Structure 1
Amino acid sequence: MSNPERWIVGITGASGAIYGVRLVQSLLAAGHFVHLLISDAGWRVLKEELDWQVTRRQEAIKEAFGDAAERIQYHPIQDIGASIASGSFRVKGMIIMPCSMGTLSAIAHGTSDNLMARAADVMIKEGRPLVLVPRETPMHAIHLENMLKLSRLGVKIVPAMPAFYYRPQTLDDIVNFLVGKVLDSLDIDHQLFTRWGEPNEHSVESTDEYDTNRPN
């Protein structure tokens, strides 16, 4: 890609850090440039779930993404003077994956008290794509009201809900499906999962046993 697109990716303290890591890997593999934000709680989850050595954060990012890390700009979460804090800095959009309910609430209420929330606020005010991937269950009324408020503002809410019609065999299959759904919502090409209706080794002919409605 001669002119790589710039995307912001946020990783918060919600469980499911692998989703955000796989998303960054996919964007880099497609030739894009990533502005990476990780909350303090997000760093803890990366350590707990993926064994990242979080005391040396830049080194941890380079180790995770290899040579492609040259196309990552990491921003400390408290750097409210960073480029992505301004609407005049051009990016294609932003994804927070996974998105904690605390971060989702901050965005819904426009608090902008750190760079994650501020960058998301910029996406909304500039009319740029913003995708949030909440990973929480069960959800109470405040969670749902905040998501409804953001959805009405044009924010895409993509809950971390795996599908099974494509017959996933591994945890990677499930992770790739969720990341692929996010990329689909942003019209970014990928080959992370087999789509409904595409030939695959698990396909079955329609019978009375199977619902022929197209899955989501």
Structure 2
Amino acid sequence: MIWKNSEQRWGGVSQLLHWLIVLLILGQGIVGLLMVDMLNSPDKIRIYALHKSFGLTILALALLRLLWRLATGAPRPVPGIPRWQERAAVFTHWLLYALLFTIPLSGWLFNSAAGYPLQWFGLFNLPAIAGKDEALREAAIAAHAWLFWLLVAVALVHAAAAFYHHLFLRDATLARMLPRGWLHTGSADTAPTPPEDSRDA
């Protein structure tokens, strides 16, 4: 497996971070929707603490993925895709990055404005990013919820586009975010990967 991104495919690091973030977001979404209706109890406090810790983990992984993308580049658009679809894909990708940052940060802001301590899995404390403020707390929790639903909508469009390209256009859009050989297409996924030194030249 090639770990760096190439002109044809996402590398192993990008694939791993992508699917790990997807799984964490699915878990966070389910837990987040369920925990708000829980009665106050030690269990609810523990679940909230885990929710915060996993949110911080997503924030860190999103930052790592962005830095890796900036360092290693991104695959070129699949041949034959109309220009408007290229632009829509670029916009969607950067919107997803923005949401992966702003959703955890809005939760961090809510936690700070509420005056709660913030720990990462009980290992260390993180500083507050705002003082205790009831109005700010209400605004942050509202933003947290609305940004989450925006992420759901954008992610569904993103996934639907990937499956449309795979099932109907039969190109490598989805296949190149999976380990080589998992999905077979008759397009760029079968193109040979250029040597490392030629891509870095």
TM-score normalised by L of structure 1: 0.24
Higher strand share: 1
Higher helix share: 2
Question: Quick check: which has more Rg, 1 or 2?
Answer: 2
TM-score normalised by L of structure 2: 0.25
- Structure scoring higher RCO (CA < 8 A, sep ≥ 6) equals 2
